[in-house]
Structure 1
């Protein structure tokens, strides 16, 4: 039985999928990004990595395999162990191992396991339907004002005014130079005055248009009458309760009184303990508590194992 497909299914829903005795597949969300060199846009995605040091059984994969294959939980654990042994043999014999839609394993020069994730699958459900695309380069035309400004600057650079004095002591050229400068100054003043008057005229016309528009808007508002003949009934919103599918199990009992006694003891110790409905084997499970995230439940399980019950284990199921 190949369990890679079940690992792939769980990667869409969880951040960590542990294979007992082999390692854990971890996911991390990467934001959308833009490659300015190629004008390529990449949607957000889940990056998959592998940690060979997380090998303890958290019950996630075995419970999922048990439900999908309709087999006993203990049988599912045995199937996973057998598959892990086959993986290790394949890696040592051929030097590599590939999981479809997940990635490949190989051994480096130091005989350590190296994982390379598959790029064709995006495990982020929110990015479903999004793909990488390339945008053509956007060319922006400069305004006429900028073009004229550049032309003027080029003319000024090419035709500077240079005064070269003659060797003879003849200062008559100063008289003509003064006349030229005076003419330029008068022309500039007249041009600026004309431009200023034109600008003021445009501003006045704009103001008149805005006033007329506002006057008509106010008139329409005064003439309008708003009423509702049949008001809609009030809507009552029901906020769904937070799902808590992760549970730390204290034990399961065939006798209900034993389960009730354990619940009473755990409540006295301060745990949010409770007894849930009997499972398909007729046993009455007792929980230390339920949690909304896997990391929170796993942390609580470790604390409980050290403080009260070394055999406490994790159950993943929505009631």
Structure 2
């Protein structure tokens, strides 16, 4: 790869986008362009086309997406489907029309059927019904995969589609309305310990299992596949093992020193009961995640405590003004 060629990374302010930007810069790529939402609305087709005609990037890493946890997906299915559909359609089409030489698309393990055999292989896509709690988001991502497949079939457009497992790590949200499961649990238990709460109520039964990938490892996978993967079939990205949500919650509670009761609200959905991907294709290509879940949890706890301290200091400073 020519490290001075222009690369456009969408979603550069989000958890994965900001980390990917950093990883590419550290790897020596020195001509990366970005655009915040206030500068470029990716749902605006004409604005996207004008941007591409002006900038003419050689490569595109499309990370921008409407994302959130199970509650956000349940509450906003139309938004999750529409925003992701229209953003990726605009970016993919303008990339093709303006001569982009390689396009990297980020999807999600949510694309697989609710009753998919485990671990989930790439060929299990569209073999059954989707999990209803995140169907909008899943359909959006599936449409992105298929759009790129058809652009390759009809136009020879070069792309790579990567399906990471559940992400966590730096720059994730701790807002419970939008946060992913791991950061949500960290917030709940750190706050409960600080407030001496007698119990913490969690959604579901805890029997669901999830596969977690640190955002740094995902960004490194993007870089690795960008430089080394030239096929057009989408590929799973993750550690290849999973953990029960009950075990995860108990682990986080222990690590933060919370000794109260964990109450599971079984009137709330579990989501898909298991989402563990087969990552044999990824390992055959030569990539392997490095950060263990145990170390990653410690990092998220540390970052949330720092976040709380910063918020508290800002509040005190504002009161003094």
User: TM-score interval w.r.t. the shorter chain?
Assistant: under 0.3
Q: Which has the bigger relative contact order, CA under 8 A and spacing at least 6?
A: 2
Answer with 1 or 2: which has the greater Rg. Answer: 1
With the length of structure 1 as denominator, give the TM-score of the two structures.
0.18
Please identify which structure carries the higher helix content. Answer: 2
